[in-house]
A and B are shown apart, each in its own frame.
Chain A
Amino acid sequence: MERDPAGSMFDTDELVINMGPQHPATHGVLRVVLKLDGEKVVDADVVIGYLHRGVEKLTESRDWTQIVLLTDRLDYVASAAANLAYVETVEKLMSIEVPRRARYLRTILAELQRLASHLVWLGSHAMDIGAITVFLYCLRERELILDLFEEFCGARLTYNSLRIGGLPQDIPSGWLPKVLRFCDVQDEKLVEYETLLTHNRIWLQRTRGIGVISGEAAVAVGLCGPTLRGSGVGRDVRKDEPYAAYAEIPFDVPVGASGDTYDRYLVRLEEMRQSTRILRQAVEGLPEGPVMAKVPRLIKPPAGETYHANESPKGEIGFFIASDGKSTSPYRLRVRPPSFCNLQALPQLVRGHLVADVIAIIGTIDIVLGEVDR
């Protein structure tokens, strides 16, 4: 910071402020050390690890089916997404072909998860910026999704809903019409959220031009998911490397223009609309058949290593698994967590903004500490 002689009388010191790890708006145990010049953020240092539970090491002493439980607790807001990425990686390693019905059902579960995660994101983001009512409305819709999951697998948050080779059981009767009805409710309520936020001038002032990152810079720092798509880069694993039933279901991938918080907001809202579109098509086109492939009782993938990625609501979640072919646990499992990679961009995004914007930017990156710290 250069000091001009005329202003030397009024020089202020750099203030170092600590946000978190216990802070109402950091969405978990995240610590951000901000260097401030007055109210402008000069630099930000992100300190993570408060939620590190050693998940990757734990997988080395669990067998392959038990690891699905561990993946639940990575992104606990969208468990089924991590479940799916993991089981598909193992299936890739074992060259298992999942029956078509299972793939469609998996797509339905994944999209329901995307909606649930985006609803939580929208609610908490809006609440941080002051529109507290949106939070309650989003959670109201999310309750419907949680009810659907509870009917299917018995849990509301950490689902353990998938198995290597398919699903543990078929969907209960009457579940599909409920999904369709939920889609209708969701589309209707999305209009409500938009009315409250999208054209509200206070919302625009708080999100336009905040946390801007260009497409190239985003790719350079390794962003993924809606955070990347908001900057104009149209990468979506569902389109680029289709998995589950995505190759058979047409949908659009929204892309933002200017890479600011407002664009990421619009991208995620549009993704929610596309999710209901995918859900409807998946329900209509659900084939009959088994939900589980012929898989050996004891899962022992052959020796080898592979990497497979999915598009979780937060971004590209990938699993790298190395198996030695002999034991019932992986030799090494590594998660490529989207939130962790996205969080790396935080210092870049907040530089030059005010303290109040830091909250908005943390919200717009949409992190879950379970994923960041593992």
Chain B
Amino acid sequence: MIDLIVLPLIKIVFVLTGVLITVMYLVLLERKVQAWVQARLGPMRVGPHGVLQPVADVVKLFIKEDLTPARAEKWVFTLAPIIVLVPALIAFAVIPFGPEVNLFGRPVPLYITDLNVGLLYIVSVAALGVYGIILGGWSSNSKYPLLGSLRSSAQLISYELAVTLTFVSVILASGSLSMVQIVEAQRQNGVWFAFVQPVALFIYAVGALAETNRNPFDLPEAESELVAGFHTEYSGMRFALFFLAEYTNMIVVSAVATTLFFGGWLRPFPNVEALWFLGFVPAWIWFTLKTFVLLYVFLWIRATLPRYRYDQLMALGWKWLIPLAIANIVVTAAVKVVLGS
């Protein structure tokens, strides 16, 4: 009873709160990191060094007027941001933050659940998130958002293909679809999959940038293009949900990358006995650290690179990444057969 219902509920509350707070501070971190790269300081007024800025942002978004365009579809207009946010949040159900630990005398695994098809579960919720974007654009009943949403969703499904194909090669390398098993496989092999599958990592990195609509693939949202794309007509709380969803997606994508390619909760060199003192750092701290490094890379890239045009973006996905991913699968499978492992 406790293990079946109470414990998962507690974990869910923990994870959701943690994720939402992290998202809020990720927004601040983005502004700060961008600012420092650009020789300025970023938010400094609200709280010391701008630390309370997210609170101010949340308050502002909450108290904004709730505008619905005149001829917009009321229900779908409200539903769209929810459809984008919910899949992003429920993806955290299978992300392993750490191994089983002993809490208050009972063994508690530091993940909400371990599905035997965990990795595909993440792909499926990502696929569902696309609906929110399409509906957001359509329900605004206006030219610009519709075009923006169609482009954005086409971009998403194209890069979803490439990313799913890289997952296949990781599954080949680890032999299992379960997220926990993948981390275990990396511990057994003693090497992160980043070194075993560098091509998959590269494709995943590019695909992740495109999946989360981040620079250099953020054309659908770019201010200098069709205004704000699919969320032009959104303001206040609904816009806040879109915004939250984008940053939550970033965290999901980084967490998945950490699990798949960078050893998840494992400390560096898990099989090297000489580095035993690294084991003093709890596993979930390693996980969080790695995820934040990847998030920082996201922010870094945004500050540096120009933006791809839409057709160039699609050409990149279809003509380069997907064939490369397929080739990677073939090579991985061939190597596996040859090595017989």
Q: Could you tell me which A residues sit within 8 Å of B by CB distance?
A: 15, 17, 23-25, 39, 126-133, 135-137, 140, 196-197, 200, 202-203, 205-206, 354-357, 359
Contact = CB atoms under 8 A, between A and B. Distances in A.
A200 B306 CA distance: 9
28 contacts: A15-B143, A17-B143, A24-B227, A25-B225, A39-B311, A126-B306, A127-B224, A128-B224, A130-B222, A133-B37, A133-B303, A136-B38, A137-B38, A140-B39, A202-B305, A205-B308, A205-B312, A206-B308, A206-B309, A206-B312, A354-B310, A355-B225, A355-B226, A356-B225, A356-B310, A357-B309, A359-B224, A359-B225
A354 B38 contact: no
Nearest to A17: B143
B40 interface: yes
A203 B306 contact: yes
B223 A24 contact: yes
Contacts, number: 74
A24 B224 contact: yes
Nearest to B303: A133
A210 to B, nearest CB: 9
Interface in B283-341: 302-312
Contacts of B226: 355
B30 to A, nearest CB: 12
A130 B216 contact: yes
A202 B143 contact: no
Contacts of A136: 38-40
B215 interface: yes
Nearest to A26: B224
B219 interface: yes
Contacts of A359: 224-225
A133 B33 CA distance: 11
Interface residues of B, number: 27
Contacts of B222: 130
Given A133-B303, A355-B225, A356-B219, A202 B308 contact: yes
A34 to B, nearest CB: 11
B305 A200 contact: yes
Given A131-B305, A206-B306, 16 more contacts: A23-B227, A25-B223, A126-B306, A130-B216, A130-B308, A132-B34, A132-B38, A133-B37, A133-B304, A137-B38, A140-B39, A197-B306, A202-B307, A206-B308, A355-B226, A356-B309
Nearest to A210: B309
Interface in B27-58: 34, 37-40
A172 B309 CA distance: 49
A6 to B, nearest CB: 23
A137 B309 contact: no
Interface of A is mostly: helix
Q: Which 7 A-B pairs have the closest CB atoms?
A: A130-B307, A136-B38, A25-B224, A130-B306, A131-B306, A356-B309, A128-B224
Contact of B39 (A39, A127, A137, A196): A137
B309 A354 contact: yes
Contact of A133 (B38, B218, B308): B38
Q: Could you say which of A15, A128, A140 has the most chain B C-beta atoms within 10 Å of its C-beta?
A: A128
A126 B306 CA distance: 7
B310 A130 contact: no
Contacts of B307: 129-131, 202, 206
Contacts of B306: 126, 129-131, 197, 200, 202-203, 206
Contacts of B37: 133
Contact of A205 (B40, B303, B309): B309
B304 A202 contact: no
A177 B266 CA distance: 58
Contacts of A129: 306-307
A130 B216 CA distance: 7
Contacts of A357: 309
B219 to A, nearest CB: 7
B122 to A, nearest CB: 28
A359 B227 CA distance: 12
A202 B309 CA distance: 9
Interface in B140-187: 143
B304 A131 contact: yes
Contacts of A132: 34, 38, 302-303
Contact of A130 (B38, B39, B143, B305): B305
A8 to B, nearest CB: 23
Contact of B304 (A23, A196, A356): A196
A128 B218 CA distance: 12
A14 B88 CA distance: 37
Nearest to B35: A136
A137 B35 CA distance: 11
A102 B303 CA distance: 43
